[in-house]
Structure 1
Amino acid sequence: MRWLWAPMLAGTVYLVVDAARDGSVPAAVGYGVVGLALTWWLSPWQGSGRARHADVVARPAAERVVVIYWRPGCTYCARLRVRLGRAGRRATWVDIWQDEDAAAYVRSVNGGNETVPTVVIDGEAFTNPDPARVLARLVAA
């Protein structure tokens, strides 16, 4: 899954060029907008911040009230991000595809699976928790 952004980008370029050659500019623009949005959503570069697991663990407990382990392209992670809204900025987001230590941690609390979002609230890990629970803790922090 980490590589899906590349074929998505290549497919988008192909569709845009093909539509442009046929003289269909609106279709080319449409393909470009949708394809680039999907490419960004699947890419490892989207998201907030570049927090690393080792840095998060080294922080005092008061500074890591809510830590969210996520990965690009995860619909459950996107759902959580949308439901948290602006309050989600208070959480620390760690991309498990950019940090092998974070992926190992997620596997350790999920029976060997890289199930995301894995949210650590006050030191306790929850797998794909109800966004209302995470939001309540972020608002209280």
Structure 2
Amino acid sequence: MTNKITVYGVRWCGDCKRALRILDERQVDYVWVDIDQNEDGEAFVKSTNHGNRSVPTIIFPDGSILVEPANQALINKLEIFGF
């Protein structure tokens, strides 16, 4: 288990930009995986989301996952981890 959040997404995605903005505003240290550039990342997202490239797919330190979360859902989850 890592203590970092991993965000799988693509740079042109509005939902990804929104999620990254929330993480940046809270100064959360995260790992970014651009699935347009990373085949393993794309495969992970597809396997997690029933063959779909649903982004952002966000993995938390406990292994839990949020996919395309609404702002408040992401904020609530970050607060659980003290972010």
Deviation at 1:125, TM superposition (A): 2.0
What is aligned with 1:126? 66
Sequence identity (%): 31
Q: Tell whether the 8 Å contact from 1:87 to 1:135 is kept in structure 2 after alignment.
A: no
Q: Secondary structure at the match of 1:92?
A: strand
Partners of 1:88 and 1:138 within 8 A in 2? no
| 1:110 and 2:49 matched | yes
User: Alignment RMSD, CA only?
Assistant: 2.0
The question of whether the paired residues in 2 share the 8 Å contact of 1:69 and 1:93 is answered with yes
Higher relative contact order (CA 8 A, sep 6+): 2
**Unaligned regions of 5+ residues in structure 1, if any?**
1-60
TM-score (norm 2): 0.77
Aligned equivalents of 2:10, 2:31: Cα separation in 1: 13
SS of equivalent residue, structure 1 residue 62:
coil
Distance in 2 (alpha carbons) for counterparts of 1:104 and 1:138: 25
In 1, Cα distance between equivalents of 2:58 and 2:29: 13
Equivalent residue for 2:12? 73
* Alignment: residue pair count: 80
- C-alpha displacement at 1:137, in angstroms? 4.2
Aligned counterpart, 1:83: 22
Whole-angstrom distance in 1 between the partners of 2:48 and 2:9: 14
Shift of 1:79: 1.3
* Structure 2 residue runs without a partner (length 5+): none
Please state which structure has a larger fraction of its residues in strand. Answer: 2
**Cα distance in structure 1, aligned partners of 2:7 and 2:75:** 12
